[in-house]
């Protein structure tokens, strides 16, 4: 028995872990290009790169994730030998706060940095919802000026246009957490003597507002009150606001009017008597003025009180970029694509470490969602092409074939020798097709003796194949031609150019 | 008491976790440029990009790390709610084997992919040794041809030259695990009836050989025998080879001769009578022939039996790129920089999942080590420059200053408004200095009234500052000039060009 067990081969499962995925070919290069386009804008705005490690101490990360229904507060965490708990970062903001607190004496103030890379969330995976995804952030740490917030909003607008979202297909929507605080004060929800209770209630309120898109007005109203049962029967506890209190918050959420001025006036009315609320409205006004002076009008940026963002750490202006065009879901129903970027002011994140207040504001672009949107709209044109494939007619002459690809590569042409089993020539051409190769090169003993090679235009060949019936015809057709070995580089280059022109 | 405890503020420590680090500014861009240069070569050779998730199941990763003195076999691992163990990848090869096994029906064969990104090792951190570092790999899966190994070696040579290591400053050294197996067979170490014992002994032998650089001949000899006590008194158990057996292995390790032919002949002698060993020597010969035919001579590639690589999964040719120039250690002693890339053939990694043999070979470039080497030799010239800084003389005119940077940015010039507290003008110029700004822009009320701005060449200013003594002189000197507001973009561009010329 024991021996049987030992000899039984245990095979590990070849699976991507649940909620993760792999990216192939153009999926990788398209994201790299998008990251380059975004960071070019960030760089032009004066931000410097920073790359922190993927791993942080759990205590440095803090507990700011919204809607956490998983252990370890939504992060992937483990305990070290020496009993420290470590975790994968869940965003790029918490690590920035740690870095600024740690290196503040050496960094310029304000410290303006951009960062890009994967972040990890230990959440229930769902369709299109992964546990690892890319963010691309820019933040200004050490500036309390709303000019810093306004700048981030205009940069966000420039960024979206730089990656290929035309004006009119997006909106940057701005709000202010201070206005929400003011509204809650007016509604009598704010109990200054118990900040913990206030924070908890405000957290439920803002997560409720954040779900307006999905739940509609009645859903939000239920969450502001006793709570809400969803379609599956799960009950989510509400903020426990009274009916009148809830209506004040609902009024805030729907305070958007036709013009910035009218929205600001309505908000000022709602927070009357609250100092913090009034300050928030003034900040919104200043942001609107600064943006307007630079020509960022309502076709790009608007004040929208329904924007609150889910994260717990924001303290002032919050902003969000929404794609305004419609897409169709699995069932063919139109829906808005929704948010692809967001951020805001978080004046207390550094203070957690140092005890000193350090104001900060910044934005995070959800790169994978943005890519999905561009693909959805057919706005990504991948230009990547497979390599020229030099086929193997005689496996003892591998050195000659390698010399051909060396010539091509040295001329900057992407090329490779077929390295699989060369026995079946059909497999070699099938491979070239699968790799989306523009050209195959063929040199048998006969060709070698005559100092020539055959080159084959694979795209043209595929088109002709539908029309040609006999092998004789095939050999006669212009997709394949015989050239002098010495002309290989020049002729392949011509054939690729012709193929590219044919596609254009 | 209880209340006191509650009110006591707990501040998290702002520290990078032990063994990890943060990368600032040019450290990030220089690595990005190197990755681009390397992947350009990989792409030209016909490899396609793949990005797997950072997280794998522990069982998919397998146990191949050498010299593991940590729990979880050297990886960072944690258990999921549903009892799966997950871990951060420790290299890019194990995930590739998983991906190929998982998607083999959809992927072309051979599957040629490149990958880049961080990997994580749960090792004791040391000076210059981090627990997260970048690798940039290329592999051909599904080809048993040594032409695939030879191609990787020439590509590795091209790659090093592409990132700025001149010919003569590096060597690609090639060996073959089959030759080592043959040598052990001849030495009587190989006991075919007990593969587990053989694997374990061979593991100790190859790790011993891998340490030749650090331990010298006597150190390796001790590890082949009973074991070795290091300077700190720690004892490492040896492979338990008898003296004669150990000498055969020592002879193998030192079998390098002046020419490839002589080395091959010497190896053939050493493995006489062993089929596997003879096959290994033949493969080395073929690789040498293929490389030679393409002009990769002994100034770039050599056969060196002392190269074995530490990882357990190699089955055939192994290769390593070594930088041959000397650097100086902390104590001023010269030492060789050593290995910056390595790889080999691993024919059984995919078989672990599928049961079917899938031959594969590939290379991994240690990007961070390579960067360190180039910095050491002063061969990295960072061209990144700070932004033009528009200073704030009057905080109520933020909109005007923002309009200036908008003009500059729209013209492609990196620029920002000073967003810190503008009260102390000296701090603004200090900030511009810290950011390495080429130009500062100054516009007070007086300038505004006259429709002009001041622009200041900060690099020139710094040079002049050493020579100028009075404020009057300062104002008169040519580092600062008054220009029309309408000429801002043109004049700033001229000043930057002048500064760059001055530096060249």
| Domain harbouring A465, CATH code | 3.40.50.800
Minimal-distance CA residue of chain B relative to A39: B29
Angle at B286 between CA B284 and CA B292, to 5 degrees: 100
A118/A95 Cα distance (integer angstroms): 13
Please give the structure tokens belonging to residue A284.
């919104």
Q: What is the CATH number of the domain that holds B221?
A: 3.30.930.10
Give the closest of B54, B71, B101 to A14, CB-based: B101
- Contact at CB, B398 and A15, closer than 8 angstroms: no
A181/A179 Cα distance (integer angstroms): 5
Same domain? B464 vs B338: no
Domain total in chain A: 1
A459/A464 Cα distance (integer angstroms): 9
Q: Across chain B, what does the average pLDDT equal?
A: 89
Minimal-distance CA residue of chain A relative to B432: A108
- Contact at CB, A14 and B354, closer than 8 angstroms: yes
Tell whether B78 lies on the interface with A, counting CB pairs under 8 A: yes
- Contact at CB, A53 and B21, closer than 8 angstroms: yes
Does residue A447 lie in a domain region?
yes
Minimal-distance CA residue of chain B relative to A359: B420
Same domain? B332 vs B434: no
Same domain? B321 vs B172: yes
B202/B205 Cα distance (integer angstroms): 5
Does residue A488 lie in a domain region?
yes
Half-sphere exposure of residue A160: CA atoms within 13 angstroms, side-chain side: 31
- Contact at CB, B110 and A44, closer than 8 angstroms: no
Please give the structure tokens belonging to residue B154.
């020439």
pLDDT score of A193: 73
Residue A485 DSSP one-character state: G
- Contact at CB, B101 and A55, closer than 8 angstroms: no
C-alpha distance across the termini of chain B, in Å = 67
Range of the domain at B429: 388-503
Same domain? B350 vs B393: no
Question: What Å distances lie between residue B155 and A186, B79, B116, CA to CA?
Answer: 69, 40, 16
Same domain? B334 vs B439: no
Half-sphere exposure of residue B25: CA atoms within 13 angstroms, side-chain side: 15
Same domain? B258 vs B358: yes
- Contact at CB, B60 and A112, closer than 8 angstroms: no
The answer to whether the peptide bond before residue B110 is cis (omega within 30 degrees of 0) is: yes
Does residue A490 lie in a domain region?
yes
Query: Which of chain A's residues have a Cβ under 8 Å away from the Cβ of B27?
Result: 51
Give the closest of B21, B23, B147 to A398, CB-based: B147
Angle at B318 between CA B314 and CA B321, to 5 degrees: 135
End-of-domain residue from the set B341, B376, B411: B376
End-of-domain residue from the set B376, B400, B434: B376
Each residue's pLDDT, cut to its tens digit, for chain A (504 residues) gives 444 445 567 799 999 999 999 999 999 999 999 999 999 999 999 999 999 999 999 999 987 665 544 446 689 999 887 778 999 999 999 999 999 999 999 999 999 999 999 999 998 887 778 999 999 999 999 999 999 999 999 999 999 999 999 999 999 999 999 999 898 888 887 666 777 777 777 788 888 888 888 888 999 999 888 889 888 888 888 888 888 888 888 989 899 999 889 999 999 999 999 999 999 999 999 999 999 888 899 999 999 998 988 777 899 999 999 999 887 777 888 877 889 999 999 998 999 999 999 999 999 999 999 999 998 888 887 666 899 999 999 989 999 999 999 999 999 999 999 999 999 999 999 999 999 999 999 999 999 999 999 999 998 877 776 666 665 665 566 788 999 999 999 999 999 998 787 665
**Residues B444-478: b if buried by 16+ CB within 10 A, e if exposed:** eeebeeeebbbbbbbbbbeebeeeeeeeeeeeebe
B380/A467 Cα distance (integer angstroms): 56
- Contact at CB, B70 and A81, closer than 8 angstroms: yes
Phi, psi for residue A301 in degrees, rounded to 5: -135, 135
B17 falls in which pLDDT band (50, 70, 90)?
A: very high
Contacts of B500 by beta carbon, 8 Å cutoff, 6+ apart: B438
pLDDT score of B208: 85
Does residue A431 lie in a domain region?
yes
Contacts of A111 by beta carbon, 8 Å cutoff, 6+ apart: A100, A104, A140, A141, A142
Question: What Å distances lie between residue A133 and A117, A214, A366, CA to CA?
Answer: 8, 22, 8
Max CA pair span of chain A: 95
pLDDT in tens, B166-218: 999 999 999 999 999 898 888 887 666 777 777 777 788 888 888 888 888 99
Tell whether A387 lies on the interface with B, counting CB pairs under 8 A: yes
Does residue A120 lie in a domain region?
no
- Contact at CB, B17 and A55, closer than 8 angstroms: yes
Tell whether A17 lies on the interface with B, counting CB pairs under 8 A: yes
- Contact at CB, B70 and A77, closer than 8 angstroms: no
pLDDT in tens, B468-485: 666 566 556 678 899 999
Min Cα distance A221 → chain B (Å) is 33
- Tell me which of A69, A78, A144, A297 to substitute to probe the interface with B (most B C-beta atoms closer than 10 Å): A78
pLDDT in tens, A66-110: 554 444 668 999 988 777 899 999 999 999 999 999 999 999 999
Give the closest of A16, A24, A416 to B53, CB-based: A16
Residues 450-479 of B with CB under 8 A from A: none
A441/A491 Cα distance (integer angstroms): 11
- Contact at CB, A101 and B14, closer than 8 angstroms: yes
Does residue B382 lie in a domain region?
no
Same domain? B49 vs B169: yes
End-of-domain residue from the set B347, B376, B405: B376
A96/A349 Cα distance (integer angstroms): 9
B403/A17 Cα distance (integer angstroms): 49
- Contact at CB, A16 and B109, closer than 8 angstroms: no
Contacts of A457 by beta carbon, 8 Å cutoff, 6+ apart: A438, A439, A478, A479, A480, A495, A498, A499
Taking alpha carbons only, the member of B53, B136, B35 closest to residue A133 is B53
Q: How much is the CA Rg of chain B, to the nearest whole Å?
A: 30
A303/A308 Cα distance (integer angstroms): 11
Taking alpha carbons only, the member of A165, A133, A145 closest to residue A38 is A165
Does residue B11 lie in a domain region?
no
Which run of H or of E encompasses A493? Answer: helix A488-503
Give the closest of B293, B353, B387 to A12, CB-based: B353
Same domain? B47 vs B171: yes
pLDDT in tens, B378-396: 888 766 689 999 999 998 9
Measured in whole angstroms, the distance separating CA A258 from the mean position of its chain's CA atoms is: 31
- Contact at CB, B14 and A387, closer than 8 angstroms: no
pLDDT score of A477: 63
Does residue B5 lie in a domain region?
no
pLDDT score of A70: 47
Give, to the nearest 10 degrees, the angle between helix B195-210 and helix B243-253. 50
Minimal-distance CA residue of chain A relative to B420: A143
Half-sphere exposure of residue A295: CA atoms within 13 angstroms, side-chain side: 7
Q: What is the pTM of this model?
A: 0.90
- Contact at CB, B419 and A148, closer than 8 angstroms: yes
Q: State the count of interchain CB pairs (< 8 A) between A and B.
A: 268
Query: Which of chain A's residues have a Cβ under 8 Å away from the Cβ of B25?
Result: 48-50
Tell whether B266 lies on the interface with A, counting CB pairs under 8 A: no
Min Cα distance B189 → chain A (Å) is 23
Same domain? B42 vs B171: yes
Give, to the nearest 10 degrees, the angle between helix A26-44 and helix A146-162. 140
Tell whether B382 lies on the interface with A, counting CB pairs under 8 A: no
A15/B60 Cα distance (integer angstroms): 8
Residues 25-54 of A with CB under 8 A from B: 25, 27-29, 43-46, 48-54
Please give the structure tokens belonging to residue A208.
């409720």
Same domain? B76 vs B105: yes
A322/A336 Cα distance (integer angstroms): 9
């Amino acid at each position: 028995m024991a021996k049987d067990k030992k000899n039984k081969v245990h095979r590990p499962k070849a699976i991507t872990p649940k909620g993760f995925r792999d990216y192939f070919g153009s999926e990788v290069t398209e994201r790299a290009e998008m990251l380059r386009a975004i960071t070019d804008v960030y760089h032009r705005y004066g931000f410097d790169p920073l790359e922190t490690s993927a791993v942080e101490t759990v205590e440095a990360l803090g507990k700011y994730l919204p809607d956490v229904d998983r252990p370890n507060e939504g992060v992937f965490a483990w305990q070290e030998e020496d009993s420290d708990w470590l975790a994968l970062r869940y965003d790029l903001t918490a690590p920035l706060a740690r870095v600024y607190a740690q290196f503040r004496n050496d960094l310029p103030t304000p410290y303006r940095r951009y960062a890009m890379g994967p972040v990890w969330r230990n959440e229930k995976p769902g369709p299109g919802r992964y546990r690892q995804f890319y963010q691309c952030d820019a933040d200004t740490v050490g500036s309390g000026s709303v000019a810093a917030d306004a700048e981030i909003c205009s940069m966000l607008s420039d960024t979206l246009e730089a990656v290929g979202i035309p004006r009119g297909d997006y909106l940057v929507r701005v709000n202010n957490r201070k206005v929400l605080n003011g509204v809650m004060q007016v509604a009598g929800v704010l109990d200054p003597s118990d900040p913990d209770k206030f924070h908890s209630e405000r957290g439920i309120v803002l997560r409720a507002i954040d779900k307006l898109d999905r739940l509609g007005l009645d859903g939000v109203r239920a969450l502001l009150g006793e709570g809400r049962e969803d379609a599956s029967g799960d009950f989510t506890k509400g903020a426990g606001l009274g009916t009148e209190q809830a209506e004040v918050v609902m009024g805030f959420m729907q305070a958007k009017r036709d013009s910035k001025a009218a929205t600001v006036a309505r908000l000022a009315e709602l927070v009357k008597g609250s100092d913090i609320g009034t300050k928030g409205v003034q900040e919104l006004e200043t942001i609107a003025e600064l943006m307007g002076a630079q020509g960022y009008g309502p076709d790009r940026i608007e004040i929208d009180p329904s924007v609150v963002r889910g994260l717990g750490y924001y303290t002032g202006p919050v902003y969000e970029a929404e794609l305004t065009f419609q897409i169709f879901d699995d069932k063919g129903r139109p829906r808005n694509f929704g948010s692809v970027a967001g951020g805001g002011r978080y004046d207390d994140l550094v203070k957690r470490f140092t005890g000193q207040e350090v104001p900060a504001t910044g934005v995070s672009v959800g790169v994978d969602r943005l890519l999905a949107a561009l693909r959805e709209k057919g706005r990504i044109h991948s230009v990547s092409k497979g390599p020229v494939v030099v086929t193997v007619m005689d496996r003892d002459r591998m050195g000659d074939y390698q010399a051909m690809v060396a010539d091509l590569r040295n001329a900057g042409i992407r090329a490779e020798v077929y390295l699989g089993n060369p026995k079946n020539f059909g497999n070699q051409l099938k491979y070239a097709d699968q790799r989306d190769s523009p050209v195959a090169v063929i040199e048998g003993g006969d060709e070698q003796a005559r100092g020539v090679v055959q080159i084959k235009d694979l795209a043209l060949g595929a088109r002709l194949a539908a029309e040609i019936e006999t092998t004789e015809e095939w050999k006669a057709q212009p997709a394949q031609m015989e050239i002098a070995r010495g002309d290989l580089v020049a002729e392949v280059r011509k054939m690729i150019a012709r193929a590219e022109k044919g596609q254009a």
